[in-house]
């Protein structure tokens, strides 16, 4: 994790906060240092740097690195934010922000890029369950199982990040869409039916009050 930030106290607070959360993090205090610190797996980019325009640096980083980039902007820098998102920034945070909020954004970005990877790898096999995204079909131990579109959607979404706890809200956004407003109660009905059809109820674990996880054995 590369933290590009010229404000030294903020940079060291972010680096130690990210390290506490289990990320390997280091900081760069200028555009030149940032380019020298590559490669990185993930870049947090403060747009207000002393030696170069942030958007300009963003372009240079994008040209040489495929790493996800979260932009850090100050309040009132809407123009930069819009420009950055137009250029393909993965997300942005507005100062001041806490490490917890940042980590949540990082995880969401990582999940979305995992999802991009899943799309390029259309057939996925997890514990005897084969998901074929090209034709939206699922085979359990070689046998084709008829799932409803929602059951398939839940399984496919959980399988994008096996072993991760996916929150009910993420599942709702991913399967029902971000514009669906309602209770998540019906989700349990679909999950119960999905478990039954999978034949191994342990494959999907419930985290009470949080969400679900596809278990990787």
Is the CB of 79 or the CB of 206 nearer to Ca ion?
Answer: 79
Is the CB of 77 or the CB of 156 nearer to Ca ion?
Answer: 77
Beta carbon of residue 186, minimum distance to Ca ion (angstroms, whole number): 46
77 binds Ca ion (CB under 5 A): no
Beta carbon of residue 5, minimum distance to Ca ion (angstroms, whole number): 6
Site string for Ca ion, 34-63 (x = CB under 5 A): ------------x-x---------------
Half-sphere exposure of residue 202, counting CA atoms within 13 Å on the CB side? 3
Site string for Ca ion, 93-122 (x = CB under 5 A): ------------------------------
Size of the site for Ca ion (CB under 5 A): 3
Which is nearest to 207 in space by CA: 193, 191, 186?
191
148's CB contacts (< 8 A; 6+ apart) are 190, 193
Q: In Å, how far are 138, 192, 203, 207, 208 from 188, measured between CA atoms?
A: 20, 6, 15, 12, 11
Beta carbon of residue 70, minimum distance to Ca ion (angstroms, whole number): 15
Angle, alpha carbons 202-155-110 (nearest 5°): 105
Binding site for Ca ion (CB under 5 A): 6, 46, 48
């Amino acid at each position: 994790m590369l933290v590009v930030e010229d404000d030294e106290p903020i940079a060291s607070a972010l680096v130690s906060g990210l390290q506490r959360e289990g990320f390997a993090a280091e900081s760069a205090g200028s555009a030149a240092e940032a380019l020298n610190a590559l490669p990185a797996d993930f870049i947090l980019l403060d747009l207000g740097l002393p030696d170069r325009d942030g958007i300009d640096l963003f372009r240079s980083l994008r040209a040489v690195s495929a790493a996800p980039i979260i932009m850090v902007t100050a309040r009132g820098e809407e123009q930069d934010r819009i420009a950055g998102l137009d250029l393909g920034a993965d997300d942005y945070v507005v100062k001041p922000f806490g490490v917890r909020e940042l980590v949540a954004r990082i995880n969401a970005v990582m999940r979305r890029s995992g999802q991009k990877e899943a799309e390029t790898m259309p057939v996925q096999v997890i514990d005897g369950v084969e998901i074929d995204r090209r034709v939206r079909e699922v085979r359990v131990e070689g046998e084709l199982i008829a799932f409803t579109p929602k059951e398939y959607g839940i399984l496919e979404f959980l399988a994008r990040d096996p072993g991760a706890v996916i929150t009910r809200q993420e599942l709702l956004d991913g399967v029902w869409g971000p514009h669906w407003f309602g209770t998540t109660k019906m989700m349990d009905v679909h999950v119960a039916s999905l478990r039954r059809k999978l034949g191994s109820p342990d494959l999907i674990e419930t985290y009470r009050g949080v969400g679900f996880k596809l278990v990787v054995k």
